[in-house]
Each structure stands twice: as C-alpha cells, then as structure tokens.
Amino acid sequence: MEHRRTDPYVVASSYGPVYGVLTNNGDDLYIIDGVNTAEHRYDLRRGLNGEAIVMTRAERSAAATALRQQVGEVGRFYRVQ
C-alpha cells in the first residue's frame, strides 16, 4: 500500500523566517519568505526543481492558514507565544 500524506506539512528554514507548506503528498510547495517578503508556489512534479505556478487567492489563504496552525502548534508545544 502506498503511503499518502493528506494533511499539509510545514517545513522551516534554519536561517530566518522562511516557511514552506507541502501539500498533495509533497507534490506542491508554497513558500512564504519573511526575509525577502515574498511568496512562491511550485509544482514539484515538474522539472528538477519544480515549476513556479501562480496561486489563486483561495490557495494562498489555505496555505497561510495551514502554516499558522502548524507553527502555532509548535509554539504551544514549547510554550512560546
């Protein structure tokens, strides 16, 4: 049986406020870059480094919500506000 991750998965940079949200079992990556104040989305099924794609407002909102929820869970675990 093939393992499929259905929930968004958050990754974080070790050098600054840069976070990513992997969705669709790791096929899509949304990046919010607090260092350069930029957002990016990539389809990781295309090309060696993925292909940049344009996000809709709804997709951006869903990714930001997933990011806030998971970063919030980490903060609560470590009792950081």
Q: How confident is the model at residue 2 (pLDDT cuts 50, 70, 90)?
A: low
Residue 24 pLDDT: 87
Residue 62 pLDDT: 86
Residue 40 pLDDT: 92
User: How many residues belong to the chain?
Assistant: 81
| CA-to-CA separations, 1 to 4, 28, 43, in angstroms, rounded | 9, 22, 24
Residue 1 has pLDDT above 60, yes or no: no
pLDDT digits (tens, 9 = 90+) for 22-42: 988 889 999 999 899 999 999
Residue 57, C-beta contacts closer than 8 angstroms, at least 6 positions apart: none
